[in-house]
Every structure is written in structure tokens, then in C-alpha cells.
């Protein structure tokens, strides 16, 4: 089968389409899926550079991608009956099943859900990782902030990033936040309403012209979802009793126990120490600071599907190309790696899509 893959750590300019074996079901909870579309997340391209190889080594050749939308081909003996050959699903596959930008990929029942019928495969492939991240961050805030997020003011920088575009919609349309503030570059501000929905964003700060830390009144924000590594520079904006959940700062070493069991103790200790200092600095403002590492979850994907079907949530798809367009794939992955310029998610279409919607 054709697969977007690398044979050694490299940047997107050296990505290849390799001919690799179709994966085989080896565990009772696995599904083999014919992939119609896969999407690229920052983690895919960062891991591929080798920048994290000391604590997160990956086997080569490495098939890229963790998000997919496709059709079930075969199931293991313990897979629940609602997944059968022919069922249309979407998934954030577990780490060991990496390789969703391939004609076929494995995932597990505990990380896969029925594809929302209102979405095409291209749209559905844009959902899993970024949306699970956003949902789990908002869940943490809703649970920990007094009275939950209903009626609260939230700050979600990067309003048309993969994670930010979903978090904004969930905050307003699902968790009932009263005010959503975001940051965007100049050209993107004009697109926000059409891509996220009317009245979903209350305040847009053009971060290329203004520093949000100077524009937003001190102590006025209940919750910040830190998508752009700005948590510690924003502590003064958060109310006492408020919270910051970061997905873009260095994680705690203890959060990486499952992902990187062989992480050298010194690196784990250093990460824990940096995290402890950040927590201490936040506490001095009366703010709860934590880092989040997204957990793949079929249950959370199913919750997301429900809100999609209710019209409360829609994916923001930016670039789309096909598996046959290696040049465009490399360009799109380079954009994701740079963290600059992209809108929403970069999706790669695989093969002809026969049912379940087109683009
Ligand atoms: N811990 C986890 O489990 C987890 C999960 C998902 C993502 N992440 C991390 O979270 C971060 C965000 O991920 P993502 O998928 O949302 O990223 P993304 O979609 O690749 O974000 C890039 C977008 O951010 C905009 N941007 C860049 N700098 C900005 C700034 N200073 N203020 C506002 N917007 C800015 C860019 O547009 P312009 O250049 O036009 O501004 C572009 O649209 C990444 O570091 C990723 O690795 C972590």
C-alpha cells in the first residue's frame, strides 16, 4: 500500500510515499480501516524531525499521521458490534498504530467512533486529535473552575489554529462561555466569523499589531486555553481562582510516563522541575496552571460527534491535497512544522471517496 512515511528522521522536504505492507490485526480490539482521508498535526511533523528522539524514539520506517476517516475493512474478535466491515469511522489512532496517511491503517475500538454522517471524510479527518485536545482542556476547566465555564470569560489564542478553532466553538456553543477572546494574524481576522460561526468569537486581537497581554484588562479572564506557548506571560490577565491549561508549553515529565517510558531520569526530573516552577509562579497569582497531553478516546470522539450533528461544532479545513501530490504534501507539512500561516487543519485525501461524502 502507499503510505506517507520516512526512513530516517528528517524535515518534510524529505518525506516520501513508500510502498509498505498493509498492517495486520494482531490484537482483539483492533480494526483495519481503509483510509479515505488523514490529517497532519504538529506532533506528527515534530516527532519526524527527531527533535524528541532522546525520550520519544520511533521505529523506522515511520508511517506518518494519527488522524483518519475511513471505512472498516476487518475487526478483531473483541471489537464491539457497531463496528463492522463497511462501517464509516473516524479515529485518533494510538501511538503504536501511527500511519493514518496511508491507504490502510490500524486503530483500536477504544480510540475510534462512528463518523458523523453530516461530515465528509475530509472534514471528519480534521477532527480527532485537535478536537480531543480542545475538549479535554475545556473539560478540565469546567470541572476545576468554581461554577464551571458557563457564563465565564475565556481566552483562546490562535483562533484559526487546529486546536483553537475547535476550542472556541466548544467554549461558546457547548460549555456556555459568555465571552470568547482570541488572537489572529491580520488576514485571518476577516475569516473568523464565516469559519467559526456568527457571534461565536466576541473579541479578536490582531496579535501582529497588538500584544494581547497589554490589550486585555488585568485579572479579567476566567480560563485560558494556551495553544501558543503564552501561559506564563499571561498570568496577570487571569482572575484569582481562574485556570490556564497549556498544550503548547513543556509537558511535565510525569505526564510522559506512558508515551516515553524509557525517558532518562534526568530529563523527566528537569521537565517536572520546570513544571513545578511554572505552577508556583501561577499560584502566586491565584491561578491554577496545568499542562495537558491529549488522550485518544472513543467516548470523547462520540461526544464530539453529537455536537457536530447538532450543528454546534464544525471542523476548519485549510489545505487539502491528495496522497499522489507529494510536493503539496511536503509544503503542507512544512507549514504545519513552522506553526505559521496555516488555517485550521491540513488534510490529505487518499484514493477515490466512494461514499460518505466528498470534500
Ligand atoms: N499536548 C497535546 O496533547 C497537544 C495536542 C495538540 C496540539 N498541541 C500543541 O499545541 C500547539 C497548537 O497546535 P495546533 O494544532 O492548534 O497548531 P496549528 O494549527 O499548527 O497552529 C498554527 C496556527 O497558529 C497561528 N499562530 C501562530 N502563532 C500565533 C500567535 N502567536 N498567536 C495566534 N496565532 C498564532 C498560525 O497562523 P498565523 O501564522 O496566520 O498567525 C496558524 O494558523 C502546537 O504547539 C502543538 O504541538 C499539543
Mean pLDDT by 10 residues, the chain (359 residues): 98 98 97 98 97 88 98 98 98 96 98 98 98 98 97 98 98 98 96 96 98 96 98 97 94 79 85 91 96 96 98 98 98 98 97 52
Residue 27 domain flag: yes
- The span from the CA of 81 to the CA of 195, in Å, is 36
Atom of ligand 1 nearest to the CA of 343: 43
Do 101 and 215 have their domain in common? no
* Cell numbers at 213, concatenated: 497581554
Residue 53 domain flag: yes
Q: Under a CB-based contact definition with an 8 Å cutoff, are residues 303 and 280 in contact?
A: no
Sheet holding 2-6, edge to edge: 16-19, 2-6, 62-63
Around Cβ 43, how many Cβ atoms within 10 Å?
17
Residue 89 domain flag: yes
Residue 297 domain flag: no
Do 231 and 137 have their domain in common? yes
- Number of domains the chain contains: 2
Ligand 1 pocket, 185 CB below 6 A?
yes
Do 58 and 33 have their domain in common? yes
Atom of ligand 1 nearest to the CA of 292: 1
Q: Under a CB-based contact definition with an 8 Å cutoff, are residues 102 and 68 in contact?
A: no
Give the distance (Å) from ligand 1 centre to CA of residue 228: 6
Residue 299 domain flag: no
Helices marked H in the chain — which ranges? 42-49, 121-125, 128-144, 162-169, 186-189, 192-196, 212-215, 265-283, 298-309, 326-338
Give the distance (Å) from ligand 1 centre to CA of residue 246: 11
Ligand 1 pocket, 39 CB below 6 A?
no
Do 256 and 120 have their domain in common? no
* Residue given cell 528528517 in the structure block: 10
Question: Which of 247, 316, 344 is the pocket-test mutation for ligand 1 (most atoms within 8 Å of CB)?
Answer: 247
Ligand 1 pocket, 40 CB below 6 A?
no
CATH number (domain holding residue 50): 3.90.180.10
- The span from the CA of 129 to the CA of 122, in Å, is 14
Q: What is the DSSP annotation of 18-82? A: EE-PPP---STTEEEEEEEEEEE-HHHHHHHHTTTTTTS---SSEEP-SEEEEEEEEE-TTS-TT
Do 45 and 162 have their domain in common? no
pLDDT at 353: 55
Do 22 and 77 have their domain in common? yes
Residue whose CA is at the smallest distance from ligand 1 atom 40: 341
Ligand 1 pocket, 158 CB below 6 A?
yes
For residue 125, the number of C-alpha atoms closer than 13 Å in the C-beta half-sphere is 38
* Cell numbers at 206, concatenated: 490582531
Ligand 1 pocket, 339 CB below 6 A?
yes
Atom of ligand 1 nearest to the CA of 291: 1
pLDDT at 300: 98
φ/ψ bin of 201: left (φ > 0), alpha (ψ from -120 to 50), beta (otherwise):
beta
Q: Under a CB-based contact definition with an 8 Å cutoff, are residues 38 and 75 in contact?
A: no
Three-state SS at 180 = strand
Do 123 and 134 have their domain in common? no
Residue 223 domain flag: yes
pLDDT at 247: 96
For residue 29, the number of C-alpha atoms closer than 13 Å in the C-beta half-sphere is 9
Do 161 and 74 have their domain in common? no
Do 62 and 177 have their domain in common? no
Residue 355 domain flag: no
Q: Which of 25, 87, 86, 35 is nearest to 63 (CA)?
A: 35
Q: Under a CB-based contact definition with an 8 Å cutoff, are residues 5 and 64 in contact?
A: yes
Question: Which of 65, 228, 255, 295 is the pocket-test mutation for ligand 1 (most atoms within 8 Å of CB)?
Answer: 228
Residue 262 domain flag: yes
CATH number (domain holding residue 218): 3.40.50.720
Do 165 and 276 have their domain in common? yes
Do 269 and 334 have their domain in common? no
Do 102 and 150 have their domain in common? no
Domain range for residue 101? Answer: 2-127+315-349
Give the distance (Å) from ligand 1 centre to CA of residue 163: 7
Amino acid at each position: 500500500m502507499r503510505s506517507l512515511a520516512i526512513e530516517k528522521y528528517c524535515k518534510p522536504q524529505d518525506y516520501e510515499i513508500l510502498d509498505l505492507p498493509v498492517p495486520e490485526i494482531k490484537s482483539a480490539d483492533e480494526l483495519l480501516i481503509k483510509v479515505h482521508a488523514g490529517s497532519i498535526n504538529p506532533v506528527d511533523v515534530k516527532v519526524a524531525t527527531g527533535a524528541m528522539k532522546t525520550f520519544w524514539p520511533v521505529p523506522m520506517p515511520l508511517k506518518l499521521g494519527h488522524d483518519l476517516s475511513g471505512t472498516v475493512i476487518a475487526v478483531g474478535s473483541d471489537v464491539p458490534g457497531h463496528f463492522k466491515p463497511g462501517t464509516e469511522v473516524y479515529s485518533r489512532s494510538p501511538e503504536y498504530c501511527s500511519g493514518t496517511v496511508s491507504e490502510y491503517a490500524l486503530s483500536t475500538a477504544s480510540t475510534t467512533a462512528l463518523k458523523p454522517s453530516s461530515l465528509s471524510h475530509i472534514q471528519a479527518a480534521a477532527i480527532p486529535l485537535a478536537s480531543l485536545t480542545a475538549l479535554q482542556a475545556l473539560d478540565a476547566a469546567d470541572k476545576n473552575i468554581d461554577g464551571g465555564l458557563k457564563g465565564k470569560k475565556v481566552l483562546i489564542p490562535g483562533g484559526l489554529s487546529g486546536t483553537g478553532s475547535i476550542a472556541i466553538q466548544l467554549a461558546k456553543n457547548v460549555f456556555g462561555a459568555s465571552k470568547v477572546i482570541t488572537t489572529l494574524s491580520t488576514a485571518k481576522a476577516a475569516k473568523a466569523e464565516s469559519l467559526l460561526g456568527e457571534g461565536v468569537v466576541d473579541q479578536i486581537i490582531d496579535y501582529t499589531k497588538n500584544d494581547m497581554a497589554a490589550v486585555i484588562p488585568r485579572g479579567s479572564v476566567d480560563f485560558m486555553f494556551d495553544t501558543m506557548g503564552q501561559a506564563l506571560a499571561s498570568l496577570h490577565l487571569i482572575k484569582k481562582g481562574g485556570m490556564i491549561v497549556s498544550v503548547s508549553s513543556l509537558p511535565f515529565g510525569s505526564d510522559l510516563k506512558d508515551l516515553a517510558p524509557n525517558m532518562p531520569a534526568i530529563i523527566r526530573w528537569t521537565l517536572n522541575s520546570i513544571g513545578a516552577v511554572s505552577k508556583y509562579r501561577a499560584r502566586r497569582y491565584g491561578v491554577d496552571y496545568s499542562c495537558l497531553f491529549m488522550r485518544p478516546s472513543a467516548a470523547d470522539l462520540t461526544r464530539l460527534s453529537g455536537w457536530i450533528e447538532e450543528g454546534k461544532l464544525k471542523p476548519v479545513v485549510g489545505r487539502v491535497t491528495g496522497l499522489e501530490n507529494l510536493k503539496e504534501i511536503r509544503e503542507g507539512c512544512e507549514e504545519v512544522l513552522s506553526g505559521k500561516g496555516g488555517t485550521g487543519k491540513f488534510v490529505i485525501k487518499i484514493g477515490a471517496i466512494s461514499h460518505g461524502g466528498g470534500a
